[in-house]
Amino acid sequence: MNPELVGRVFPPTAPYLVGREKVREFSRAVFATNPINFEPGAASAAGYGDVVAPPTFAVVVQESTLAQLLAEPDGGIDFSRVVHGDQRFSYTRPIVAGDELTATLAVTSIKTLGGNAMVTAESAIIDVTGAHVVTAVSTLIVRADAE
Partner 1 sequence: MSELIVGEVIAEQSYTVTRDSLVRYAGASGDFNAIHYRDDVAHSVGLAGVLAHGMLTMGVAVQPVVDWLGDRGTIADYQVRFTRPVLVDPVVGATITVVAKVGAVDDGTARIDLTVTFNDETVLGKAQVRVVLA
**What are the C-alpha distances in Å from 17 to residues 26, 50, 62, 111, 128?**
14, 13, 13, 35, 10
Element (H, E) at 71: helix 58-71
Residue 88 binds to partner 1 (criterion: CB under 8 A): yes
Q: Quick one: 32 or 105, whose CB is closer to partner 1?
A: 32
Residue 94 binds to partner 1 (criterion: CB under 8 A): yes
Residue 144 binds to partner 1 (criterion: CB under 8 A): no
DSSP character at residue 15: P
Single-letter code of the amino acid located at 109: S
How would you class 103 by CB atoms within 10 Å of its CB: exposed for 0-12, middle for 13-18, buried for 19 or more?
A: buried
Stretch that binds partner 1, among 55-63, 70-78, 105-113, 118-126 (CB under 8 A): 55-63
Q: Quick one: 74 or 147, whose CB is closer to partner 1?
A: 147
Site string for partner 1, 31-50 (x = CB under 8 A): xxxx-----------x----
One of 15, 86, 111, 115 touching partner 1 (CB under 8 A): 86
